[in-house]
Structure 1
Amino acid sequence: MAFNQIIDNIDLLLTILPEVVKSAITQYPDHTNLYEIVLDVGRYPEARFKGNQIVRLSENKIRYEDIDYVVSRIGFFTADNRAGIEGTLHRISAIRNRQGKIIGLTLRIGRAIQGTIEVIRDIVNLGKSILVVGPPGMGKTTKLREISRVMSDELKKRVIIVDTSNEIGGDGDIPHPGIGGARRMQVSHPNRQHAVMIEAVENHMPEVIVIDEIGTEEEAAASRTIAERGVTLVATAHGNTIENLMKNPTLSDLVGGIQSVTLSDEEARRRGTQKAILERKGPPTFSIIVEMRDMHTLAIYKEVSDTIDKLLLGKKVSPEIRVFDEEGKVTVTQQEIEVSFEEEYRHYETDKPKDEKVTAIFPYAVNRNRLERAIHSIDVPAIVVNNLDEANIVVTTKLQAKNDSRFVQKVADMNLSLHVIKSNTSSQITKFLRYIFKVYTDNEMKDEEALREINDVIENVIKTNKHKDAAPSSPYTRRLQHNFAAEKGFYTETIGDEPNRFVRVYPEHTE
């Protein structure tokens, strides 16, 4: 669809400008590409348009009187030196001298643009937590505003916007219609954003929380707490790319957190890595990351966990690239192949392995010694055979399967099960064996134990019709338990202080 732009009463913005600046702006009848006006004492006034076009508005330099003229016609400036015009989305930011006097103003044109999220509408419809990153001026806040409207009005979600600078919902007590039916909580001071985020969840029972500019450790921690409670998050964060977030110690928790781990000699050999490696601490707060590379190009990371793990291993990632024009036509120029654990070893559907006590594996273009070491290491009932006739499972690499279709057909004709791994490495071979023989890691076993516990708690709640507490657990475990209970239709909350925080489950329909 074509974008339907609603320019937010630019006439109201013109009324607060000095006459010489106002006259110059009115000479440009099409204000669609105007995004800010800059007024600095002792310098020429400028209008900045999309495409890095800068226009001098007057040959007269700005005076203190001009700045005072504008300031006297707008609301007061908050602690972050921002003000607005009631009922609009325009933002006025102040520059002060050392004595606190305002000597410069940046007037950002605010717009509500319906249709701007059609390029990611399918992602919004998934109902997963979305983080939008990108350079300033790319339209991140505009997208948040439109996502808020669509989720509230079209998807019928209970949406609350935590609006620290009033950029999403506009200035004044009555929110701008651009956010639709979403509710808006204003923030008295930027330092209180994290507290208002938690307050919104505890007091108003939203299904979706929308936040602009997550930038502190407290806000990142609040985001994780909200995600643990099963509330969907839609937010922007300081950082141009996903790699920026990983390297930022304050915000890396949004993508799971990064930690240094020292492996044993045996584990390092098994993985084929150095002993000291970087790993993700836990699950990311956000399921999907949208990276705005320019005004018309988005990179979509649909599996954040997998993306972070690959980047930490030094591997290249290939996000889905969506390019859209002014008419809303979308072109996908690069498609990421999303690979689940089962799909990673692309099982060519033939019959299942023969029901035998010991599984005979025939490696084709896969290192035999590595396969034997992996079998011994994880202690599975398998042997490596030399001939296809002796095998009931065949394993080969992705490249080999692609280049040798005759062999693939031969395996299918013999009614054997063929598994394809990405590469001929110890780690890929080990993953293949774990999948085939359902050998779980310690973390996977802990996950199962946590889910069994919360299921027992839910059964107890059903019997007694009273709330019941699970045992104290880690943030990751609590998040699993919150999600499990939510799927069963139960309301939960996190109680207590670390390290003794736990999940409490309430009877159905408890508010």
Structure 2
Amino acid sequence: MVPIKVVHLTQDQSNNEDLAYLLNLLPSSIVDALTFQSLKEPLLEIVLDLGRIPQARYKDYILPLGDKPITRAELAEVVKQLGPFGDDNRVGIEGTLHRISALRNRCGSIIGLTCRIGRATRSNAKIVRDILDSGQSILIMGRPGIGKTTTLRDIARILADELNRRVIVIDTSNEIAGDGDIPHPSIGQSRRIQVPNPILQHRMMIEAVENHTPEVIIIDEIGTEMEAQAARTIAERGIQLIATAHGNGLVNLIKNPTLSDLIGGIQSVILSDDEAQRRSTQKTVLERATKPTFHVAVEMHSSFRWSVHTNVAQTVDIILQGYQPKFKENKLMTKYETYSSESLSNRKITVKNNSSWQSSVWNASDQSSGDFQSQQKSQHLGSNAVASGLCIYPGGVDYQLLNELICLYKWPIILVSKVEEATIVLALPHYLSSDSKVRHCARTHRIPILVVKSNTTLHIQQAIKRLLQSYI
């Protein structure tokens, strides 16, 4: 194993110094070729394959390193300096974040090396700093090489050093905190558990909870069903879980039977003929089976552009209904600040009540009486209401779900906190029966009430669509 290097440098100096440690292990011809390349884009990995010209891989392109193929002697010399590889065909350089993976032939001899460059950055996790403060569990997704592991390091540092949480890092391949017995400074005061064999990762996750009383557990690359079950066990014990999984987004996890339990699991449900007709769907539909393990999901499109799903359960429900989750909170990060794009403005729109209104209550699911559309049109609602936006008072209706549906469908609707400010009251039956003040206030101000059968996405969606059809 390469001896440990103890350095006290700034972040950029430390990254450059760590890269120098890796270059010292490579043939001089490769180092000279890399030195000749003056590129601003950071190096991702160096590939050494027997009988081929070595390559330097960057984000968008690959460059050759010299014009001579790698010989067996050069490859053997590099392997000799690295030391023994683990069961996962990986080895690290002690005191750094680099990872070297081996390619073997049928006899087990190494015929290729992938030298992955590890870096410590202190800017990525600013995007989800507010979620880290809340204590919610976060699942980070993205293609390989996008920066998921780098983000985990910074999250570990923030939780341990800035938020003073007891953090345990489950480091299966020593990729998060580097190789060796002393964790890399990039994870701050977080403690690290090394996993001797990748197939034991789920056991080490449970052991961390039982033996070390953590407040937060961080794990890289949940990939098996047992690891997904262990993650659920941890979350059910009230421990904040920060983890990564391969896949571009929630849609990929929904289609992955091994990892779908992370977002609640998917089950097939057979509907009755009446229910299928009412939903206008087939008799067999897919639904979420249970509560997701993670509250929040992050889709990494690049190092500086993420999509944050703040309610995984509702996002999965909408995807299963065949819609695109367009209400994601997109955040763009610059070097110093984090910006968030808002789907709705916070300003309130005032709608004047028409003196000819009568206090009325309609059931959104009652098709036979309905003519909710014709009855509402007979109330002569001012045309300026729709132009400005309908003001709805949600009586017992899930505020967050309603708000996300408004963002998804871009409905001209503003949610208000007082009945007298509303154009219409959207309420559940039990809420109306238990709160006479809402009924009295609506009657006094001549505000109609639309009753929703239940607090589900389908029923709320149907009610709002009928409401908008009536007013437009």
Q: 1:401 to 1:53 in 2, by over 3 A?
A: closer
Q: CA deviation at 1:428?
A: 2.3
| Alignment map for 1:132-151 (pairs within 5 Å) | 132-151=140-159
Aligned to 1:428: 459
Shift of 1:55: 1.7
TM-score for the superposition, normalised by structure 2:
0.74
Q: Aligned residue for 2:33?
A: 24
Q: Return the alpha-carbon distance in structure 2 between the equivalents of residues 179 and 284 of structure 1.
A: 27
Q: Secondary structure at the match of 1:322?
A: strand
| Partner SS for 2:298 | strand
- For residues 25 and 284 of structure 1, the distance between their equivalents in structure 2, rounded to whole angstroms, comes to 46
Q: In the alignment, what sits opposite 2:7?
A: none
Q: Structure 2 residue aligned with 1:369, among 360, 367, 370?
A: 367
Given residue 46 of structure 2, which amino acid in structure 1 is its aligned partner?
I
Partner of 1:154: 162
1:298 to 2:328 alignment: no
Which residue pairs with 1:104 in the alignment? 112
Question: CA-to-partner distance for each residue in 1:323-349, whole Å, 9 max, x for gaps?
Answer: 234x2454445x4569xxxxxxx9x9x
1:272 CA displacement: 4.1
1:20-419 pair list within 5 angstroms: 20-28=29-37, 33-50=42-59, 52-318=60-326, 319-325=328-334, 327-333=335-341, 335=342, 360-362=360-362, 369=367, 415-418=445-448
SS for the counterpart of 1:267 is helix
Task: Give, in whole Å, the separation in 1 of the partners of 2:457 and 2:128.
Answer: 38
**Aligned pair in 2 of structure 1 residues 272, 30: CA closer, same or farther (>3 Å)?**
closer
SS at match of 2:44: strand
- Matched residue type, 1:307: T
Question: Helix, strand or coil for the counterpart of 2:83?
Answer: coil
Q: Is the 8 A contact 1:133 1:236 kept in 2?
A: yes
* 1:317 to partner: Cα distance: 1.1
Distance 2:247 2:451 in 1: 35
What secondary structure does 1:148 align onto? helix
CA drift at 1:408: 6.5
1:400-421 Cα distance to aligned partner (Å, 9 max, x none): 9759xxx976998951445579
CA distance in 2, matches of 1:400, 1:255: 27
Matched position secondary structure for 1:86: coil
Give me the whole-angstrom Cα distance separating, in 2, the residues matched to 1:60 and 1:426.
62
Cα distance in 2, alignment partners of residues 31 and 102 from structure 1: 32
Q: How many angstroms apart in 2 are the aligned matches of 1:429 and 1:174?
A: 54
What amino acid is the match of 1:296?
F
Cα 1:400–1:41 change in 2 (3 A) is closer
Once residues 279 and 257 of structure 1 are traced to their aligned partners in structure 2, the CA distance between those partners, rounded to angstroms, is: 8
* CA-CA distance at 1:56 after TM superposition: 1.2
Q: Deviations over 1:61-85 (max 9, x none)?
A: 1011111111111132111100000
Q: Which residue of 2 aligns with 1:497?
A: none
Structure 2 counterpart of 1:15, from 13, 24, 27: 24
Larger deviation: 291-300 or 22-31?
Answer: 22-31
1:498 matched residue in structure 2: none
Deviations 1:149-194 (A, max 9, x none): 1001111111000000101010001100000000000001110001
Assess if the C-alpha contact under 8 Å between 1:67 and 1:103 holds in 2: yes
Per-residue CA deviations over 1:189-240 (Å, capped at 9, x if unaligned) read 1100011101111111111110000000110011011111111110001212
What letter matches 2:367 in structure 1? N
Q: How far off its partner does 1:270 sit?
A: 4.2
User: 1:252, CA displacement in angstroms?
Assistant: 0.3
Q: Where do 1:408-487 residues align within 5 Å? A: 415-418=445-448, 427-428=458-459
CA distance in 1: counterparts of 2:371 and 2:171, whole angstroms: 56
Cα pair distance change 1:428/1:362, threshold 3 Å? same
| Cα separation, 2, equivalents of 1:101 and 1:223 | 36
Cα distance between partner residues in 2 of 1:410 and 1:265: 33
What is the identity, as a one-letter code, of the residue corresponding to 1:361?
V
CA RMSD, aligned part only?
Answer: 3.7
Q: 1:222 to 1:408 in 2, by over 3 A?
A: closer
Instruction: Note closer, same or farther for the CA distance 1:249–1:307 as it changes in structure 2 (3 Å cut).
Output: same
Contact residue 75 and residue 85 of structure 1 kept, 8 A: no
Partner secondary structure for residue 48 of structure 2: strand
Compared CA separation, residues 153 and 360, structure 1 to 2 (3 A): same
Task: Report SS of the residue matched to 1:110.
Answer: coil
Q: Which runs of 5+ in 1 are unaligned?
A: 339-345, 351-358, 375-383, 434-511
Deviations 1:130-159 (A, max 9, x none): 000001111100000100010011111110
Q: Distance in 2 between matches of 1:217 and 1:400?
A: 40
CA drift of 1:4 comes to: 5.8
* Deviation for aligned residue 1:297: 1.4
Q: Is the 8 A contact 1:118 1:328 kept in 2?
A: no
Letter in 2 for 1:39: L
Q: Could you state the TM-score of these two structures normalised by the residue count of structure 1?
A: 0.69
Number of matched pairs: 392
Name the counterpart of 2:4.
none
Distance 1:53 1:410 in 2: 57
